[in-house]
Structure 1
Amino acid sequence: MLRGGQTRYFRLASNALFSGCGIHFPVALEGALKLKEISYIHAEGFPAAEIRHGALTLIRNFVPVVCIAMKSDPAYEQVKAQISEFRAKDAAVIVLTDQENNDFNGIASFVIRCPATKLELEPLIVAIPLQLLSYYIADERGCSIDQPRNLAKSVTVE
């Protein structure tokens, strides 16, 4: 897991991209939302297959790209190829993958390893490190984590 000292690199980012495929796409959206809410960094989530359509032009140095690449994902090999492409564009790539997976050593800037579980439960396991990543980045930026600006803590109906 990335800790405060390792997230210092990302505190200066003004944009971030999150990528997930299939069941992991909603988790990528949630990760982007959490980063926006508490660190005020513009972040967007993309389906892994669609990141090449437009978002790829945004990828460069100082644009963190968070990729969910669990081995149980049917599109794992495609996601793995995309991660190599992101690194070729000099992006800071953070990969969330299985505990025993060493495929991204030397490729990704950072690897966050998650416990292996059934495909259906992976979104729950992966969401936690994404929330902690957002927390540590917001903390490095000096943001008010417990009381983010312009965020309603309750739903009101009129």
Structure 2
Amino acid sequence: ALRGQASDAAASRAALQGIPQLMRQALGSDAACREAAKYISQRHQFIFLGAGPNWVTAMEAVIKVLETSYVPSSGYETEQFLHGPFCQVDARAAAIAIVAGGAADLRMHSVLEACGALSVARVVVAMAGAGLDVEAEQRVEVPAAEKWLSPLVLVVPLQLISYYVALDRGTNPDSGRQQEADHAKAQKIFAL
């Protein structure tokens, strides 16, 4: 019963050791991230969508946008989004889909097609070769990684998009609103 576990562990270790290089390569998506940010920066609401381990990636992207540009943002698992939250989107929103490949791509295709019917701005952040049929006006692609490690690579362009959205909106992505007296005073009440 234990046969094969050592080779699985070795393969997992090798995949994990390759992540820093894949993250460096993901930085090569900078120009596409800048274009995607420019496309969505003036939208009034951001919806981040992910499936499997990338639901958490969607939540991390929400935190970054809230911290850097203060755009109201929400993150959802793809199916969860269709059961209620979909009703809140309209043409003022942007939907950013995080696509790592696999069965969830088909559902993401349907979700973004429905968003398109509402004139929602659509961006796909995908691993190489994933989600090629997922419709969007902007696409950012990063190197492929094992699905369980994909959040570590896919978060890189999401961080870049958050940064460029802040710059396009004229907010300081590094301050967390510390330059505003009321926020600076309020944030002294708690420690991070």
TM-score tier by shorter-chain length is 0.7 to 0.9
User: What is the CA-CA distance between 1:24 and the residue it aligns to?
Assistant: 0.5
Deviations 1:114-136 (A, max 9, x none): 11111111000000100000000
- Given that residues 10 and 62 in structure 1 are in contact (C-alpha distance below 8 angstroms), is that contact kept between their aligned partners in structure 2? no
1:117 corresponds to which residue? 145
Counterpart of 1:143 in 2: which secondary structure? Answer: coil
Q: 1: CA distance between counterparts of 2:191 and 2:119?
A: 44
Q: 2: CA distance between counterparts of 1:5 and 1:66?
A: 13
The residue identity in structure 1 corresponding to 2:122 is V
Q: 1:110 to 1:40 in 2, by over 3 A?
A: same
Counterpart of 1:51 in 2: which secondary structure? Answer: helix
The runs of 4+ residues in structure 1 deviating greater than 4 Å are none
> What are the ranges of 5 or more consecutive residues in structure 1 without an aligned counterpart?
none
- Is 2:73 aligned against 1:43? yes
Aligned pairs for 1:1-158 within 5 A: 1=29, 2-4=32-34, 6-72=36-102, 74-101=103-130, 102-104=132-134, 107-149=135-177, 150=183, 156=191
Q: 2: CA distance between counterparts of 1:95 and 1:138?
A: 19
Structure whose residues are more often helix by fraction = 2
The residue identity in structure 2 corresponding to 1:96 is V
Q: 2: CA distance between counterparts of 1:93 and 1:156?
A: 36
Percent same amino acid at aligned positions?
24
Q: 1: CA distance between counterparts of 2:99 and 2:143?
A: 13
Please report the RMSD computed on the Cα atoms of aligned residues, expressed in angstroms.
Answer: 2.2
Q: 2: CA distance between counterparts of 1:6 and 1:110?
A: 6
The residue identity in structure 1 corresponding to 2:101 is K
* Structure whose CA Rg is larger: 2
Q: 2: CA distance between counterparts of 1:128 and 1:5?
A: 15
How many pairs does the alignment contain? Answer: 153
Counterpart of 2:41 in 1: which secondary structure? Answer: helix
> What are the ranges of 5 or more consecutive residues in structure 2 without an aligned counterpart?
1-28, 178-182
- Given that residues 4 and 140 in structure 1 are in contact (C-alpha distance below 8 angstroms), is that contact kept between their aligned partners in structure 2? no
| TM-score (ref. length: structure 1) | 0.86
Q: 1: CA distance between counterparts of 2:147 and 2:33?
A: 26
